Amino acid sequence: MIKWDDNLKIGIKIIDAHHKYLFDLCRSLEMLLETPLGVYKVDDAIKIICDFREFLTFHFYYEEIYLKKFNVSDLEEHLLEHEEFKNQIVNININNIYNENYNELKSLLNLSYGLVFSHMADKDFKLKNLINK
């Protein structure tokens, strides 16, 4: 189970709160995927996808203000990764979820692990180094 660790803090309160909430979303997704087959979970699955879509758009928008303000290196690459994350979430086929096919949720979970571990640790952490200078 995914668990927030304070070592992941960047030092900008609002961004850290967002990242922490992303962990909560991942946790909800993990729990949903562990719910046994046969248990009706369509509504919960759709709610999680919507929460991810809404929250990531909001978070990226907010984070990008800081990225530009602090003039982080590899900005273009960073923004591109945000776009890719958003596109992948928008492209989830909700009809599959209605048909109780949750394979795309597994992909969403892997995508989220990439977001919270690889993207945050590699890209977002550049902010930490800049604000602490």
Site string (59-78) toward Fe ion, x via CB under 5 A = ----x---------------
From the CB of 82, what's the least distance to Fe ion, in Å?
6
Cβ atoms 78, 67 nearer than 8 A: yes
Size of the site for Fe ion (CB under 5 A): 2
From the CB of 116, what's the least distance to Fe ion, in Å?
9
Smaller CB distance to Fe ion: residue 52 or 102? 52
From the CB of 39, what's the least distance to Fe ion, in Å?
32
Smaller CB distance to Fe ion: residue 63 or 104? 63
Cβ atoms 51, 124 nearer than 8 A: no
From the CB of 51, what's the least distance to Fe ion, in Å?
16
Q: What is the dihedral of CA 4, 89, 105, 62, to 10 degrees?
A: 20
Listed in sequence order, the residues at least 6 apart from 51 whose beta carbon sits closer than 8 Å to its beta carbon are 25, 28
Closest by Cα among 12, 26, 13 to 117: 26
Q: Is position 124 an interface residue for Fe ion (rule: CB under 5 A)? A: yes
Query: Tokens for 64?
Result: 């990008």
Smaller CB distance to Fe ion: residue 69 or 99? 69
Listed in sequence order, the residues at least 6 apart from 68 whose beta carbon sits closer than 8 Å to its beta carbon are 75
Could you list the residues that contact Fe ion (CB under 5 A)? Answer: 63, 124
